[in-house]
Chain A
Amino acid sequence: MTDPGVTDLGVTDLGMPTVASDPYGHLRGSEPFPVAARRSLADTQLRQNLGHATRTIRAKRAGVVAEVDDWEELRRAGEGIKADVMARLPELLVQFEEAVTARGGVVHWARDAVEANRIVVDLVRGTGAQEVVKVKSMATQETGLNEALGEAGIAALETDLAELIVQLSDDRPSHFLVPAIHRNRSEIRDIFLREMPDVDPELTDEPRLLAMAARAHLRRKFLSARVGISGVNFAVADTGTISVVESEGNGRMCLTLPDTLITVMGVEKIVPTWSDLEVFLQLLPRSSTGERMNPYTSTWSGVTPGDGPQTFHLVLLDNGRSNVLASPDGRQALHCIRCSACLNVCPVYERAGGHAYGSVYPGPIGAVLTPQLTGIQGTDDVSASLPYASTLCGACFDACPVRIDIPHLLVQQRAAAVDAHTRPTTQDVAMRAAAAAMSSPGRFSLVERALKLGRLIGRSGRIRSVPGPGAAAWFGARDMPTPPAETFRQWWARTRGPSS
């Protein structure tokens, strides 16, 4: 017999970067993006809700980012810290594990979603609790922990307001920060009236009253909870400190009141030192909720006698992250701090909504992260359609607080999708060439400018050749219509402004 957490396998398997397991289909959608998006686009209520919410948040974000005169320097530091983390990830994780263990925490490692779920289910069973309170965590959404707990007869109660709305209406999350962004206030009221047993039947759709209803609904659960489950925003390698950034106080409830805390963390959440938080605690709140600072950030290290949970388990999750790390450029997708700014500025996300991506990671970052986590398996893999869910307008890069070059990664993932085809089509060949041409926003702009030049020379109305890296291969496969006087990026910058 083997111990839990120990499997036997061939020597050759050891150390191969491996793609995610997806036991409940939370990463790989069930249909290609264009099919799902067409349905979302037909839903005018959804488009109205998303348009309103993303407009609101774009304006708030622009306001608080403009207040910070060293914003670009902070972005560069954020980018640099994350790149450094990727280059030292295994060593930093070992250092972190030592620090957490020294301070009374118990560290578990999970190769994939199935293993992480099993570890958590066993830990909860060990406490005898029938119910757990959860603070919103992308990692446990990714693994489908709630389903796994449910199958074990354990009720997982989501306590974040938006997550509660999603759970009560048996819906799926559609945004990192606000999983119920696709719902407006009157839809939320209807869900509460239908699903909360003790709610005041006179409840109106005033946001303040809706928030109060959530408070009343969860209060007793918080005060009696024995097990809390959380994710991680940042984990500090040298001190073993973990931080959770939130607004409502539901996170504080889950992190403070239960006897046992179980935290599930994607391995990429590490930062080397405590002082690195001085960068991320400036970048994250302004980029995500458009606040100078979110109402509450909790940090803790292991177990503190006399304060908070006296049993602390930490589950470190790979689930495809090693596969992403193996790609020199693609690993940038692991730099993501889940602020959701790129979703809020994306013209495709704003119209199609999060569900169309079929993954718990939607939007521009989801379109490059999801296919790398799952890998692309064969020509019909729906993950392969995600990198096409973009106009390559570059707004996501401008908004990203850690400067992830999402347009570049999108083009690269399109090329990867092409490589998954057994016999390349003409379009595939062109795409691969374009991937080289567009391999950075800078180079993409160059080709664009070259195309503009092409406007002057394309007398026949078609362009047959253009200078630029890789462009020859692209034009070897096709002619290009004469481009408009203004490029898409120029149009975007003019009409939407750099900060919108």
Chain B
Amino acid sequence: MVGAHPGTVVVSARDEVLARLRAARDAGGATAPEVPREYRRSGTAPPGSAEVVDRLVETLTDYKATVHRVADEDDVSATIADILENAGVTTFVAPPGLPARWLGEVTARVRPDEPPLSVAKLDAVDAVVTGAAVAIADTGTFVLDALAPDQGRRAITLVPDHHVCVVRAADVVSSVPEGIARLDPTHPLTFVSGPSATSDIELDRVEGVHGPRRLDVVLVAPRA
């Protein structure tokens, strides 16, 4: 149809949408206001402090994660071994860079995700064990970075029905802004706050839909 009518031009959707938006923006006002940022951008207590760690235990527990507190990283492997055994886990997946010392006493069979397991294989394992990039005490959240060697690609923490996540006190911050500041936005990230849940039935929260239905957090934090 190009050239069908004299005086017409061919315009891509991109150019047209941008032209419309420019015209509309100019008509409605193009002055960018100063954004008031008077909210708290740092936490009430320093990262890793006893106060922050205690709050994380509260908020995680409130949203139905089970928290296991250990004083020393040497105790992690015994705790994971207990968790897996009590849950009847026989096989679990681990990201390629999971610290070997976390699994020293574990008797369940580990399937390293290297080379990457198929979705069917992930569906056949009972659990997954990972680390975390950061945890946010105010909201009971930990964040998984798919490019961190001890966290692994997103599918491994999604398909298995039971997730065991190790969080170190040094990675626990108080507030959302502190958490965001520690993350790399170009990596695939998953913010996890409790096991999978829904509010879709009468707007009340019930746990257990498509993501892992069981969530254990091993928190490595020396008692103050």
Binding site for B on A (CB under 8 A): 1-2, 5-11, 14-18, 49, 52-54, 56-57, 60, 70, 73-74, 76-77, 80-81, 83-84, 86-90, 93-94, 103, 108-111, 115, 159-162, 165, 177-178, 180-181, 184-185, 188, 207-208, 210-212, 214-215, 218-219, 222-223, 236, 239-241, 247-250, 252-253, 255-257, 267, 274-275, 277-279, 281-282, 285, 289, 291-301, 304, 306-308, 316, 318, 321-328, 330-331
Contacts and interface: CB of A to CB of B under 8 A. Distances in A.
A292 B140 contact: yes
Nearest to A236: B185
Contacts of A239: 185-186
Contact of A252 (B158, B185, B197): B158
Instruction: Give the residue among A177, A281, A316, A330 with the most B Cβ atoms within 10 A.
Output: A281
Given A294-B193, A298-B188, A308-B188, A248 B210 contact: yes
Contact of A307 (B59, B136, B188): B188
B121 to A, nearest CB: 11
B154 A296 contact: no
B193 A326 contact: no
A14 B212 CA distance: 50
Instruction: Give the residue among B14, B185, B197 with the most A Cβ atoms within 10 A.
Output: B185
A252 B209 contact: no
16 contacts: A14-B15, A17-B23, A17-B27, A56-B204, A81-B35, A111-B20, A211-B198, A250-B209, A252-B158, A274-B185, A293-B139, A295-B195, A296-B192, A308-B153, A321-B21, A324-B24
B39 A77 contact: yes
Contacts of A328: 27-29
A249 B141 CA distance: 15
Contact of A86 (B5, B28, B35, B195): B28
Nearest to A319: B17
Interface string B14-48: 11111111111101111111111111110000000
Nearest to A164: B200
A300 B35 CA distance: 26
B22 to A, nearest CB: 5
Contact of B23 (A16, A160, A161, A253): A16
Lowest 9 CB-CB distances: which A-B pairs, in order?
A249-B211, A15-B19, A249-B210, A80-B35, A248-B209, A293-B139, A326-B24, A325-B24, A278-B177
A301 B187 CA distance: 7
A249 B193 CA distance: 11
Given A14-B11, A56-B203, A252-B158, A215 B2 contact: no
Contacts of B8: 8-11
Given A103-B186, A274-B185, A296 B196 contact: yes
A475 to B, nearest CB: 32
Given A249-B196, A278-B177, A306 B153 contact: yes
Contacts of B203: 53-54, 56-57, 60, 178, 181, 289
Given A247-B198, A257-B159, A279-B39, 4 more contacts: A15-B19, A109-B18, A289-B203, A325-B25
Contacts of A291: 63, 193, 199, 205
